[in-house]
Amino acid sequence: MPAHASRCLRCVTPALLLLVVGAGAAPAQSITGHVAGVRGNRAAQLVVYLTGPAAEGAAPEAAEITQRQKTFIPHLLPITVGTAVAFANEDSILHNLHAYEGRRTLFNRAQPAFSAPLRHTFTRPGAVLLLCDVHPEMEAYVVVAPTRWFSVVARDGTFSLRDVGPGSYSLVVWDERRRAAAIEQQVLVRPGGPTTVEVRLPASQS
Ligand SMILES: [Cu+2]
């Protein structure tokens, strides 16, 4: 390589690097929020998630639902599209996994005692109801969010969504009581500032 070309590269590269880093790294931040007027078990029936720009390069993390003492644990499992969920049976009795998308059966599989965990990858956004046909009291929900930002609302009514880039999003509150979204509102995440959200459910649903 000629000497002048090498000198030129040396001086240009750091400047280019700065430019690239500066352009791509708008600082991600947390959204912290509160659902007004709900606490305890009522708060724990709510899942919040964002819709909006696709989650670039976000690999879904593994998730699990365990059947223990005739209970699905956790009762509400929010995940992102593409997540493989392992379903384990820790009881010494037969269970089955009957999953519904609306009224349609998504899958229905027996799970004898001491069998290996069953796995299912959830490929569509929406809520999936999980029942065990052997034990009618068993019930759980997998809430499949279209982005990687989701959370169950804590029992004090608060929630937090981490590592959200600047932009405009819709924040959806999904309600187990309705088996549907209860409310959706716009959230603007600005670079640099904390983002706080106050959500108020329609009066008939709080
Ligand atoms: Cu069962």
Domains and CATH numbers, the chain: 27-205 (2.60.40.420)
What share of the chain in percent tops pLDDT 70? Answer: 82
**Ligand 1 centroid – CA 88 distance (Å):** 12
**Ligand 1 centroid – CA 70 distance (Å):** 6
Share the mean pLDDT of the chain.
86
Q: What is the mean pLDDT of residues 58-86?
A: 92
pTM of the predicted model, to two decimals?
Answer: 0.84
For the chain, the DSSP string reads --HHHHHHHHHHHHHHHHHHHHHH-PPPEEEEEEETT--HHHHTTEEEEEESS--TTPPPPPEEEEEETTEEESSEEEEETT-EEEEEE-SSS-EEEEEEETTEEEEEEEE-TTPPPEEEE--SSEEEEEE-SS-TT-EEEEEEESSS-EEEPPTTSEEEEEEEPSEEEEEEEEETTTTEEEEEEEEEE-TTS-EEEEE---GGG-
Strands 46-51 and 29-35: unpaired
CA atoms of 162 and 171, how far apart (whole Å): 13
What share of the chain in percent tops pLDDT 90? Answer: 70
**Ligand 1 centroid – CA 24 distance (Å):** 49
List the one residue out of 29, 48, 42 whose CA is nearest residue 184. Answer: 48
CA atoms of 47 and 154, how far apart (whole Å): 9
pLDDT tens profile 170-187: 999 999 999 999 999 999
List the one residue out of 173, 81, 186, 194 whose CA is nearest residue 128. Answer: 81
pLDDT tens profile 10-58: 444 444 443 433 344 567 788 999 999 999 999 999 999 999 765 554 6
**Ligand 1 centroid – CA 168 distance (Å):** 42
**Ligand 1 centroid – CA 83 distance (Å):** 23
pLDDT tens profile 144-203: 999 999 999 999 999 999 989 888 999 999 999 999 999 999 999 988 878 999 999 987
